[in-house]
């Protein structure tokens, strides 16, 4: 832990809170998120077009569990933000970090249950275009979130070994908050734009 504390505190901060020598990491994540955003833009435009042309469109009613899942993801994001702001206090950082990871996993598990509930009502991927898009969006978001969880777990290992850099925490938080915002957008699409 002593090594860890030293690792996290050696970064020189600039005015915007980002260490100067790792600026490429922040640029990289922002550019990467643009790429991800374009994938979802493609899906969203297809969603809007397909909804507008198909007489076979039947809006699906979302299971109430999805709201609980949303709350879990929001809290997870909040925990990661607390972790990011606690880099000087390793035990606190550790606590928030693990909680955020666990909640992320819980969200994914919850999404799996939502899928199961839909299957039980007879709504499958190919049932109608609305359900096709629901599965598509939740799966694609889930894959991205799963990637985030793998990164979180990898960083947990680094945290344990005392090799975690502050930039990792910051970049991870940016990614996680983006996934959070993306999920809210998708949820709005299902609720308002159905």
Partner 1 sequence: MVDSVHPHAVHEPPSGFISKYIFSKDHKVIGIQYYLLALFSVFVGMALSVLIRINLVWAGTEFSILETLFPEGAPGGVMTPEFYLAMLTMHGTMMVFMVLTTAPQGGFGNYFLPIQIGARDMAFPTLNMLSFWLTFVSLVVLLGAFFVAGGPPISGWTAYAPLSALGEIAGPGLGRGQDLWIISIAIFCIASLLGALNFITTVLDLRAKGMTLMRMPLPTWSWFVTAILGLLAFGVLLSAGVLLLLDRLAGTSFFIPGGLVVSDQLIDHKGGSPLLWQHLFWFFGHPEVYIAILPAMGVTSQVLSVFSRKAIFGYRAMVYSMFAIGILGFMVWGHHMFMSGMSPYSAILFSLVTTAIAVPSAIKTFNWLGTLWGGKIQFDSPMLFSIGFVSLFVSGGLGGLFLNQPATDIYLHDGYFVVAHFHLVMGVASIFGIFTATYYWFPKMFGRQMNENLGKIHFWFTFIGVNTIFMPMHFLGIAGHPRRYADLSGFNFLAEMWPLHLFISIAAFITITAQFVFLFNFFWSLFRGRNAAMNPWNATTLEWEIPSPPPHDNFGDRQLTVCHGPYEYSVPGRERDFVMQTEGEQE
Q: Based on the shown chain and the rule CB under 8 A, indicate whether residue 31 belongs to the binding site for partner 1.
A: yes
Alpha carbon distance 77, 145 (integer Å)? 12
Residue 27 CB, nearest distance to partner 1 (Å)?
5
Alpha carbon distance 127, 58 (integer Å)? 9
Q: In this chain, which stretch among 15-23, 74-82, 102-110, 147-155 interacts with partner 1, using CB under 8 A?
A: 15-23
Pick one of 1, 46, 71, 188: the residue that binds partner 1 (CB under 8 A). 46
Encoded one letter per residue, x for contact with partner 1 by CB under 8 A and - for no contact, window 116-155 reads: ---------xx--x--x---x---x---------------
Q: How far apart are the first and last CA of the chain?
A: 50
Q: In this chain, which stretch among 54-62, 106-114, 150-158, 172-180 interacts with partner 1, using CB under 8 A?
A: 54-62
Q: Based on the shown chain and the rule CB under 8 A, indicate whether residue 24 belongs to the binding site for partner 1.
A: yes
Long-range contacts of the stretch 95-102 (C-beta < 8 A, 24+): 97/152, 97/155, 97/156, 97/159, 98/156, 100/76, 100/152, 100/176, 101/149, 101/152, 101/153, 101/156
Q: What angle do CA 120, 123, 127 make, to 5 degrees?
A: 150
Residue 125 CB, nearest distance to partner 1 (Å)?
5
Residue with the two structure tokens 């939740």: 138
Could you tell me the two tokens for 79? 């925990």
Residue 22 CB, nearest distance to partner 1 (Å)?
7
Residue 13 CB, nearest distance to partner 1 (Å)?
16
What does the DSSP assignment read for 106-122?
HHHHHHHHHHHHHHHTT
For partner 1, the binding residues (CB under 8 A) are: 20-24, 27-28, 31-32, 34-43, 45-46, 49-50, 53-57, 125-126, 129, 132, 136, 140
């Amino acid at each position: 832990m002593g090594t860890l504390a030293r690792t996290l505190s050696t970064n020189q901060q600039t005015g915007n809170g980002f260490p100067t020598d790792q600026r490429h990491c922040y640029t990289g994540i922002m550019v990467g998120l643009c790429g991800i955003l374009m994938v979802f833009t493609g899906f969203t435009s297809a969603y809007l077009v397909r909804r507008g042309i198909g007489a076979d469109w039947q809006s699906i009613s979302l299971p109430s569990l999805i709201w609980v899942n949303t709350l879990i993801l929001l809290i997870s994001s909040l925990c990661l933000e607390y972790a990011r702001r606690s880099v000087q206090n390793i035990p606190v950082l550790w606590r928030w970090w693990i909680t955020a990871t666990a909640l992320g996993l819980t969200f994914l598990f919850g999404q799996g249950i939502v899928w199961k509930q839909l299957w039980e009502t007879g709504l499958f991927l190919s049932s109608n275009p609305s359900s096709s898009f629901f599965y598509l969006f939740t799966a694609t978001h889930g894959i991205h979130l799963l990637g985030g969880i793998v990164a979180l777990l990898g960083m947990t290992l680094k945290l344990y070994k005392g090799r975690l850099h502050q930039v990792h925490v910051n970049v991870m938080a940016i990614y996680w908050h983006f996934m959070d915002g993306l999920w809210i957008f998708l949820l709005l699409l299902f609720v308002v734009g159905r």
